[in-house]
């Protein structure tokens, strides 16, 4: 989401006549886009800001700005800790950045704009796409779910969807530039609705765009997984068989305190429906450990659910109390050490399950959209399977060329928790 937002910021500034610098040392304007979801991210940002502020010592004309959710969330505290900032802009203020940068530095006051705007979708601004076979396209912004732990509804504001016509235009342009895969983005992307167009209808519209071969979306909310979404995934071949289904906890008591809006039984029934309709589906999740009130038994319930579902992968986090959220007032009953212990145990369990699930792929064949040379080098190429698993394979240079954007069939030879080693099938 933030990468996509940064691409929007880049497009706004380019329209105003700015060009991008290759190195941070050469830039006259440095903007740091930020996340507020956990406190840890904030500490990293302050550290980075102080590093960047050093560039101002030799070049005082450099303008340094803080963008995004952290700017929105605690501008007061940040301005105290980082008084050298010239610009502070929240997620709905990017359109005004050129004026803000023009004003910055007057009277040595920072230019601050953190107004949330129910109507701002940046629908008319085509983000500066970063190149490659995959592009991320924001389909909706904001969130109305207000999970008790989460700061997103406060820093990104209310749910709003981008008109299908703008999305179709943008994705059409991407296809013309060689993009083969789009990832539709939104905080609760499957809550997408514009007039009569719901999310499954949007998926089908995007699937009609020539040149786009694969469609993914991130991040859905379990409560908004409708039968029509499952049907679209099952029947539209371009929609890839991967569903990210954040569970957060495997304990009903904690889920209720988190105000997630589903029980473990409902969640498991949904997983069963999805698997019945889309047998090849990979399922991933997000889990928080150490939410206020989480007892050892609640934590064990989470590990039980992880085993029951058998996730392909998971993002796991220690609970971080966030100001403004409903859970802020509840407290933080689990110690940092205990959160750490639970997190390590969860990561180890997921690692085991990821390996097992990936090993089960050995001997099977998958179409892989080639992205480019593998990070490990050695002439290997990398791409994703439909399930969004990384496939690494050697290309036969004597045979027909395999380039980024091609789809090749590979057979899995061996697997680790994070990638599949394959040969061309």
Scanning 6-14, 161-169, 319-327, 412-420 for contacts with ligand 5AD by CB under 6 A, the matching segment is 319-327
Nearest distance, CB of residue 270 and ligand SF4, angstroms: 15
Is residue 246 a contact residue for ligand 5AD (CB under 6 A)?
yes
Nearest distance, CB of residue 96 and ligand 5AD, angstroms: 27
CA nearest 184: which of 172, 195, 171?
171
Nearest distance, CB of residue 353 and ligand 5AD, angstroms: 18
Lookup result for tokens 């934590």: 299
One residue of 194, 199, 319, 366 binding ligand 5AD per CB under 6 A: 319
Binding mask 35-64 for ligand 5AD (x = CB under 6 A): --xx--------------------------
Q: Which does 288 bind (CB under 5 to 8 A by kind): ligand 5AD, ligand SF4, none?
A: ligand 5AD
Q: Which does 393 bind (CB under 5 to 8 A by kind): ligand SF4, ligand 5AD, none?
A: none
Q: For the residues of 32-85, what is the DSSP string, one character each?
A: EEE--SSHHHHHHHHHHHHHHHTHHHH-TT-EEEEEEHHHHH-HHHHHHH-TT-
Q: CA-CA distance, 54 to 25, in Å (whole number)?
A: 10
Is residue 389 a contact residue for ligand 5AD (CB under 6 A)?
no
CA nearest 305: which of 218, 242, 222?
222
Q: Which does 38 bind (CB under 5 to 8 A by kind): ligand SF4, ligand 5AD, none?
A: ligand 5AD
Distances (CA, A) of 29 to 19, 64, 222, 407: 10, 6, 40, 40
CA nearest 383: which of 361, 406, 364?
406
Pick between residue 243 and residue 412 the one whose CB is nearest to ligand 5AD: 243
Number of Cβ within 10 Å of residue 152's Cβ equals: 21
Is residue 71 a contact residue for ligand 5AD (CB under 6 A)?
no
Number of Cβ within 10 Å of residue 101's Cβ equals: 21
Chain residues that interact with ligand 5AD, rule: CB under 6 A: 37-38, 149-150, 246, 248, 286, 288, 317, 319-320, 322
């Amino acid at each position: 989401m933030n990468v996509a937002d940064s691409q929007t910021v880049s497009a706004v500034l380019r329209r105003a006549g700015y060009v991008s610098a290759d190195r941070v040392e050469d830039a006259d304007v440095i903007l740091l886009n930020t996340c507020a979801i956990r406190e840890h991210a904030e500490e990293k940002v302050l550290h980075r800001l102080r590093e960047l502020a050093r560039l101002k010592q030799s070049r005082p004309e450099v303008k340094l700005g803080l963008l995004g959710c952290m700017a929105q969330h605690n501008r007061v505290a940040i301005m105290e800790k980082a008084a050298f900032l010239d610009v502070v802009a929240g997620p709905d203020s990017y359109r005004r950045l050129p004026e803000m940068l023009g004003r910055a530095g007057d009277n040595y006051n920072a230019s601050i704009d953190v107004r949330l705007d129910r109507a701002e979708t940046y629908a008319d601004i085509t983000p500066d796409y970063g190149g490659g076979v995959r592009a991320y396209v924001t389909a909706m912004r904001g969130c109305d779910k207000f999970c008790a732990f989460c700061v997103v509804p406060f820093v990104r504001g209310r749910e709003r969807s981008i008109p299908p016509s703008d999305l179709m235009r943008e994705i059409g342009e991407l296809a013309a530039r060689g993009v083969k895969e789009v990832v539709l983005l939104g905080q609760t992307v499957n809550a997408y609705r514009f007039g009569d167009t719901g999310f499954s209808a949007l998926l089908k519209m995007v699937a009609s765009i020539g040149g786009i071969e694969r469609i993914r979306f991130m991040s859905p909310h379990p409560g908004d997984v409708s039968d029509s979404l499952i049907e679209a995934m099952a029947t539209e071949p371009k929609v890839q068989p991967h569903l990210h289904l954040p569970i957060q906890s495997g304990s009903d008591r904690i889920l209720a305190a988190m105000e997630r809006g589903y029980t473990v039984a409902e969640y498991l029934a949904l997983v069963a429906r999805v698997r019945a309709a889309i047998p090849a589906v990979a399922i991933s999740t997000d889990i928080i450990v150490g939410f206020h009130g989480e007892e050892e038994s609640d934590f064990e319930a989470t590990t039980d659910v992880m085993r029951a579902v058998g996730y392909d992968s998971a993002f796991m986090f220690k609970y971080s109390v966030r100001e403004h959220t409903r859970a802020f007032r509840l407290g933080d009953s689990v110690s940092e050490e205990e959160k750490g212990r639970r997190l390590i145990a969860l990561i180890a369990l997921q690692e085991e399950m990821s390996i097992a699930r990936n090993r089960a792929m050995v001997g099977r064949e998958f179409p892989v959209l080639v992205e480019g040379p593998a990070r490990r080098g050695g002439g290997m190429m990398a791409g994703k399977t439909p399930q969004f698993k990384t496939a690494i394979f050697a290309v036969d240079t004597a045979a027909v060329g395999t380039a980024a954007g091609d789809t090749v069939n590979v057979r899995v030879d061996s697997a680790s928790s994070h990638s599949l080693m394959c040969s061309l099938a």
